[in-house]
Amino acid sequence: MIEATTAELLDYFADVIERAERYGAVVEPPYDALEVEWRRSGEHLLMDLDVRPRFDRPTSVQITLRERWQPIGQDRWELAEYGYELRDFELDYRRALHQHDSDYFVRRFGVATHEHCEAVMSSETCGHYAGAACYGAVDGLERLYVVWTSGQKPDCSRMRCLEDQGA
């Protein structure tokens, strides 16, 4: 897992925003919030960012970067969950990289991370695909940005469906 101090998380947050802006995207707060900032939920820190690419089809593309960090000691945090998603409303597809409910996914499928791929949005051929772990929001953003800039729908048929394992 990824660990950081509070100061490192502040730098990390700035790095994520800078990377998105370097790609020409606008970073917005989610849920009509007034500012882009870390939020608290109980003892956890939450990062929720909406990234809107400005090029080509800006209003039809949404990338969301969500993370939940849990305290693991004095001024120490660990990345506990993430969800990085790309929705292209014009081309009608969704790609997502997730790590959440790790105990369930390890018990059910033998993995903590999974992906979603909908070549037609809201039409799942497989509920959860095998996926490689992301190493933070910059990694997730870069993977999704490559999918988006291809200008084509993802080929979900090349992915391994976890539900087929029957675990």
pLDDT in tens, 75-107: 999 999 999 999 999 899 999 999 999 888 989
Max CA-CA distance within the chain? Answer: 46
Cross-strand bridge partners of residue 39: 46
% of the chain exceeding 90 in pLDDT = 71
pLDDT at 57 over 60: no
- Beta-carbon contacts of 156 under 8 Å, excluding residues fewer than 6 positions away, are 117, 118, 119, 125, 126, 129
pTM for this prediction: 0.91
Closest C-alpha among 83, 82, 86, 104 to residue 95: 86
User: Around 107, how many Cα atoms within 13 Å sit in the side-chain half-sphere?
Assistant: 5
C-beta separation of 13 from 137 below 8 A: no
Query: What are the residue ranges spanned by the domains of the chain?
Result: 3-165
pLDDT at 167 over 90: no
Summarize pLDDT for 132-146 with one digit per residue, the tens.
999 999 999 999 999
